[in-house]
Chain A
């Protein structure tokens, strides 16, 4: 079973095609980079996979489950357990502390307090934020915010993490650290990842690089590991 199977998805905004019959797949635990010029449709593709946007045509399956025909509640369930997203602009909840942001999806999925007590420090530890766990989002640096976002995505132990320019707002050194973190997490937990990026450096943690151009997936080069 593939972690992700995308077949022939199409999407237009106001009759302008943004995705044109895009197809590809990811194996369990596989990491792939998605590159391409600005406006080529990378974020749109990611949003469709994450179930926060819908393609006009085509089919997306996660862990063998097709998103087609799922209603909003079923998509919610998917987002609570199978797939999570890390955004370029972090999108932390502004009223919650770092730790609470990470804890939130656990509470949503109904984990008991005693379990959360064990798991939360582990997650915080894993992204290296123990010293900042009580800070509010607006008190954190960009790199720290992205660590929170990654821990939040990781919390539900998803099968697939979608990351939209996870290093796009960070300096290169911090970006490197975040990439290492993502790679480590993926390896440790066997999580597949699709990373949208503009920086070729990201490809170093990916086995494959996908190239988008004008809504078409034009190239699927196999990078050296």
Chain B
């Protein structure tokens, strides 16, 4: 048929006609409405981008400096546990033969500033400085060693207690070159000279502000680790044969590592295990970016829906004049594209600014928890810009397409009927679909997790369930409007403005639904995080309560992290045991070990003899033998061990299963005697008797000491004695340790709270903008109201009631959603990804507080929007 041909003959001409005569003129006539729309779009893009940027900055904060001293080293050899012996270097050189490869032995020790122990960690890295300099690493080709120091060319005499720091370190600790800095290394105070500041080199990652670079022998003697290495880094000399050499060395080292039981790491390995960031923290950020994404989409949909729905009548007229649906769709899609583009550009600028604030908050948390990061600046890469543009424009196009499609498909006679509303996103009115999604979402929660090749577990079903439930909530929320409108109406029989607001909610437009849905998602996800945190806290507090039975806890200064290698020597803890009033101690020595390329913690524990007073674990599978005896009684050649819940999950261990444990003396089989709950880390812990680890690793040092006192002993007095005798140790009372643990816990989630607050704030701002848009569109009605004698304040009041209705819908829907999401987080995602069993706990007080804040903010915002817009001049009907 020729019909279609003639109709779509001049798409450009008709497109231009619609554009120049209709859309563009609307823009010119109503710049305020357009600004509001672009504002909503920008907010959506900004919240999305800022959380992404902040997330990325946090991740790169962890990933930076690659923990590699030789920059991009090709291989790193490290022991599965403990340290390497320097003899490894010789073996390695023999293997490498004549292949040109740079070999950099490294020793890493952590220390703490004696003056400012609260300032966190200092990482001391001992390396062959001459070799580093020759390889022009970290010196940018400039003089590192020879420069200002008095060192000669060969060997560097007198460098044992000197170190080099980056300029950020110097700033942080107020160091002047040549000045001494008192440090505590392995519990021993040392005076330490800073002999140079490493210049910043723009081509290299900046030197972290907690790193001291030293000559290897110097650090070895300082830390009493003579002849020991943490790792050996290998760098293939550049050149045409580099690729070939890398392969050759790789194969040789692989053999060597397999032979000696070492671990060989390639840069790829390191990238895949990029961060040591706590998985819990990462999960937080993942959920938050999801939250930002959804809130962003809702805001954008809302803006575009409005743009199209508002002109429903006009579209009908155009159709009655013979404009085809396709032409109408095309014109409105172009509008969506251009608005989306403008919104995205503004949003990128806004998001960049918001991200800076977020990054400061995130890196503060990261620093208190993991100490190993620098505040990495927010970098707005081209990729991110492009991604945000695509996000903003795509979301706008999709958002514009659905209502445009609908408006152009409805019979014009329908749309033209006065007040013939109920248009917009028909999808949003599909509450039966919402019920189906609800069932599907709950079903997904029971899908078993996916185990990746790397061994890590992804709770895919849990995440899918969360997404589907969020969608379902968006559809079901429409059901709330009618009852809410009735409640509003019933309570306000004598207030016509309230009745008017109720009438608006009885027939919600698409943007009412979208606004409430956006708010419900923000509230639902935030509150679900609240459930997670509260459940976590309740469980953790109970656990700490049970765990901490001793009177005093002693550790080397700064030992707030298991990864830190600081230890107490045998003479130190023996002296503490001899202090009058001390009746017994529990001792633990921690090692980081690796089995099947999975790292976890090994604890050698040594419990005191009093059966009532040793470390109380929370048992999931209690051992057959009561108390420490269970750890000391060997059955056959295997050694008994207690596995933490997360370790058991990662290695599929049950009571009676065995796990081969790498030790300095070779592999030892450990048989699981019991499984205990542990919330301190998600990598897992294996506890064995210290008498065995002492043998295997040949060392009598310990990491922590729990001190039990005689009933009549004075806790404070013993504490004082320990502090005076051992200034390098940190001793805390039971109560202090508890409060410290809880404080650290709260710090972990401080960022979460901040980000949630932002999400809810933006959803409420979206509510304000939505109302502003609705009122602008309703200006005729407002004019009628005023003609009927309504004052400006009364109109503001009706807007306020409408805002309260919207907020109530969002809150009700959001809270219902949060119970489900919380359930999924606690019983599906959490056990699958961390292996932690938590008890479900709803923070009712926070719920009430959040509701009060949201409602009052929404009421205030809505009132002022109403007040501002009440004086809009009504339009005469054409």
| Stretch among A33-41, A72-80, A122-130 lining the B interface | A72-80
Whether A108 contacts B322 in the complex (CB less than 8 A), given A77-B7, A92-B878, A95-B25, comes out as yes
In the bound complex, do residue A93 and residue B318 qualify as a contact, i.e. CB atoms below 8 Å apart? Answer: yes
A138: B residues at CB distance < 8 A:
875-878
Whose C-beta in chain A lies nearest to the C-beta of B16? A107
In the bound complex, do residue A108 and residue B14 qualify as a contact, i.e. CB atoms below 8 Å apart? Answer: yes
| Stretch among B347-355, B406-414, B699-707 lining the A interface | B406-414
Whose C-beta in chain B lies nearest to the C-beta of A53? B413
A175: Cβ under 8 A from any B Cβ: no
Question: Nearest Cβ in chain A — how far from B406, in angstroms?
Answer: 14
B786: Cβ under 8 A from any A Cβ: no
- Tally A-B pairs: CB < 8 A: 100
Instruction: Report the separation of the CA atoms of residues A171 and B7 in the bound assembly, to the nearest whole angstrom.
Output: 40
Instruction: Report the separation of the CA atoms of residues A104 and B322 in the bound assembly, to the nearest whole angstrom.
Output: 10
Instruction: Report the separation of the CA atoms of residues A136 and B853 in the bound assembly, to the nearest whole angstrom.
Output: 47
In the bound complex, do residue B9 and residue A108 qualify as a contact, i.e. CB atoms below 8 Å apart? Answer: no
B26: A residues at CB distance < 8 A:
95
A81: B residues at CB distance < 8 A:
322
Instruction: Report the separation of the CA atoms of residues A167 and B849 in the bound assembly, to the nearest whole angstrom.
Output: 60
B314: Cβ under 8 A from any A Cβ: yes
Instruction: Report the separation of the CA atoms of residues A100 and B323 in the bound assembly, to the nearest whole angstrom.
Output: 16
Question: Nearest Cβ in chain A — how far from B4, in angstroms?
Answer: 5
Whose C-beta in chain A lies nearest to the C-beta of B10? A110
CB contact between A80 and one of B10, B322, B326 (< 8 Å): that residue: B322
Whether A105 contacts B317 in the complex (CB less than 8 A), given A52-B412, A77-B6, comes out as no
In the bound complex, do residue A95 and residue B21 qualify as a contact, i.e. CB atoms below 8 Å apart? Answer: yes
- Encode contact with B along A70-98: 1 for CB under 8 Å, 0 otherwise: 00111011111100110101111111100
B13: Cβ under 8 A from any A Cβ: yes
B1: A residues at CB distance < 8 A:
74
Whose C-beta in chain B lies nearest to the C-beta of A70? B3
In the bound complex, do residue A76 and residue B878 qualify as a contact, i.e. CB atoms below 8 Å apart? Answer: no
In the bound complex, do residue B318 and residue A89 qualify as a contact, i.e. CB atoms below 8 Å apart? Answer: no
A143: B residues at CB distance < 8 A:
none
B6: A residues at CB distance < 8 A:
77
A78: B residues at CB distance < 8 A:
322
Instruction: Report the separation of the CA atoms of residues A52 and B22 in the bound assembly, to the nearest whole angstrom.
Output: 21
**Residues of chain B from 302 to 357 with CB closer than 8 A to chain A in the complex:** 313-314, 316-326
Instruction: Report the separation of the CA atoms of residues A33 and B325 in the bound assembly, to the nearest whole angstrom.
Output: 32
**Residues of chain A from 108 to 161 with CB closer than 8 A to chain B in the complex:** 108-110, 137-138, 145, 152, 156
A54: Cβ under 8 A from any B Cβ: yes
B416: Cβ under 8 A from any A Cβ: yes
A50: Cβ under 8 A from any B Cβ: yes
Instruction: Report the separation of the CA atoms of residues A145 and B878 in the bound assembly, to the nearest whole angstrom.
Output: 8
A174: Cβ under 8 A from any B Cβ: no
In the bound complex, do residue B323 and residue A93 qualify as a contact, i.e. CB atoms below 8 Å apart? Answer: no
In the bound complex, do residue A73 and residue B324 qualify as a contact, i.e. CB atoms below 8 Å apart? Answer: yes
A25: Cβ under 8 A from any B Cβ: no
Instruction: Report the separation of the CA atoms of residues A53 and B22 in the bound assembly, to the nearest whole angstrom.
Output: 24
In the bound complex, do residue A79 and residue B325 qualify as a contact, i.e. CB atoms below 8 Å apart? Answer: no
Question: Nearest Cβ in chain A — how far from B878, in angstroms?
Answer: 4
Whether A52 contacts B320 in the complex (CB less than 8 A), given A77-B6, A108-B14, A137-B878, comes out as yes
Whose C-beta in chain B lies nearest to the C-beta of A100? B21
B17: Cβ under 8 A from any A Cβ: yes
A109: B residues at CB distance < 8 A:
322
**Residues of chain A from 171 to 204 with CB closer than 8 A to chain B in the complex:** none
CB contact between B324 and one of A76, A94, A137, A145 (< 8 Å): that residue: A76
B325: A residues at CB distance < 8 A:
72-73
B29: Cβ under 8 A from any A Cβ: yes
B322: A residues at CB distance < 8 A:
76-81, 105, 108-109, 156
Instruction: Report the separation of the CA atoms of residues A67 and B413 in the bound assembly, to the nearest whole angstrom.
Output: 16
A7: Cβ under 8 A from any B Cβ: no
CB contact between A105 and one of B3, B4, B321 (< 8 Å): that residue: B321
Whether A89 contacts B21 in the complex (CB less than 8 A), given A50-B320, A76-B319, comes out as no
A100: B residues at CB distance < 8 A:
21
CB contact between B411 and one of A53, A108, A152 (< 8 Å): that residue: A53
Question: Nearest Cβ in chain B — how far from A194, in angstroms?
Answer: 15
Whether A94 contacts B878 in the complex (CB less than 8 A), given A50-B320, A76-B319, A110-B10, comes out as yes
Instruction: Report the separation of the CA atoms of residues A108 and B11 in the bound assembly, to the nearest whole angstrom.
Output: 10
A105: B residues at CB distance < 8 A:
321-322
**Residues of chain B from 819 to 840 with CB closer than 8 A to chain A in the complex:** none
Instruction: Report the separation of the CA atoms of residues A138 and B321 in the bound assembly, to the nearest whole angstrom.
Output: 20
Instruction: Report the separation of the CA atoms of residues A87 and B323 in the bound assembly, to the nearest whole angstrom.
Output: 17
B412: A residues at CB distance < 8 A:
52-53
A23: Cβ under 8 A from any B Cβ: no
5 A-B residue contacts at CB 8 Å?
A: A52-B412, A79-B321, A96-B21, A96-B22, A108-B14
With contacts A76-B7, A76-B322, A96-B21 known, what are 9 further pairs, Cβ within 8 A? A47-B413, A72-B325, A73-B324, A76-B323, A80-B321, A91-B320, A92-B317, A105-B322, A108-B321
Task: Enumerate the 9 nearest inter-chain pairs by beta-carbon distance, A residue then B residue, closest first.
Answer: A80-B322, A95-B25, A137-B878, A53-B413, A79-B322, A47-B413, A52-B412, A138-B876, A52-B413
Q: Taking beta carbons and an 8 Å cutoff, which residues of B are in contact with A? A: 1, 3-4, 6-10, 13-14, 17, 21-22, 25-26, 29, 313-314, 316-326, 409, 411-414, 416, 418, 875-878
